[in-house]
Amino acid sequence: MHRTTGVLLAALLLLIFLPGPLPAAGDPEHGQVLAEPCMGCHGIPGYRNVYPSFRVPKLGGQHEDYLVIALQGYQSKMRSHPTMQAQAATLSEQDMRDLAAYFASGPQPAAGEPVKTGRAAAGAEKVAVCTACHGTNGVSPAPNWPVLAGQHEDYLVHAITAYRDGGRKDPVMMGQAVNLSDQDIADIAAFYAAQEGLYTVSYAD
């Protein structure tokens, strides 16, 4: 190889493989400022999405890394939901980190013994396959797997059904949901909703 070509090639390769600037850790104070438009839905306990009707997810106590992954899912349209796609469309990676840091800045739910009484009882057996990633009581051990404990029951039904029926394209969860019946999903959602965990973050807190 000609010497200059070799040098040029090396320089080019260096450019390609040089890591880009990594986003800094999330700044919860800036996240709180960015979160203002979010609070009209996520900051009101029990606030509902219409068509279909389900309560908007609780973000308080959720894993920070997972919140970023979820926002990326709406931005890339791997998750279908026109309102959230519009909310995420113009967020930079750093904005997402800051928002996630704000919503995750409160108390973190503890992994404990699951509640298996009442309506949770029907789902207790059916979640055996989920616990490796989502924890025995729905508090996931890894930061990129969502906490499910205490999430709204109707939102959980909506989310699991979306992985099964194609509204959410995450390959891991599509495989998990493919064989669940509507009854299984209802029972599993009742189980996770009965656990202690997530909460609604509001400016009043």
Which residues are at the interface with ligand HEC (CB under 6 A)? Answer: 37-38, 40-42, 49, 56-57, 59, 67, 69-71, 73, 79, 81, 83-84, 87, 99, 129-130, 132-134, 145-146, 148, 156, 158-160, 168, 170, 172-173, 176, 188
Nearer residue to ligand HEC within complex by CB, 10 or 132: 132
Nearer residue to ligand HEC within complex by CB, 9 or 29: 29
49-55, Cβ contacts within 8 angstroms, sequence gap of 24 or more: 49/83, 52/158, 53/154, 54/152, 54/154, 54/155, 54/157, 54/158, 55/152, 55/154, 55/155
Q: At its nearest, how many Å lie between ligand HEC and the CB of residue 17?
A: 27
C-alpha–C-alpha distance, residues 165 and 70, integer Å: 18
Nearer residue to ligand HEC within complex by CB, 11 or 125: 125
Nearer residue to ligand HEC within complex by CB, 87 or 200: 87
Q: Residue 193 in contact with residue 58, Cβ under 8 Å?
A: no
Q: At its nearest, how many Å lie between ligand HEC and the CB of residue 55?
A: 8
Whether the bond between 109 and the residue before it is cis, its omega within 30 degrees of 0, is: no
Per the listing, tokens 């979820």 go with 70
Q: Residue type for 53, please?
A: S
> What's the CA angle centered on 127, arms 121 and 128, to 5 degrees?
110
Terminal Cα-to-Cα distance of the chain (whole angstroms): 66
Residues in the chain: 205
Nearer residue to ligand HEC within complex by CB, 17 or 51: 51
Q: At its nearest, how many Å lie between ligand HEC and the CB of residue 1?
A: 45
Nearer residue to ligand HEC within complex by CB, 118 or 125: 125
Residue 35 structure tokens? 């979160």
Q: At its nearest, how many Å lie between ligand HEC and the CB of residue 70?
A: 4
Q: Residue type for 33, please?
A: V
Residue 30 structure tokens? 């800036």
125 Cβ contact list (under 8 Å, min separation 6) = none
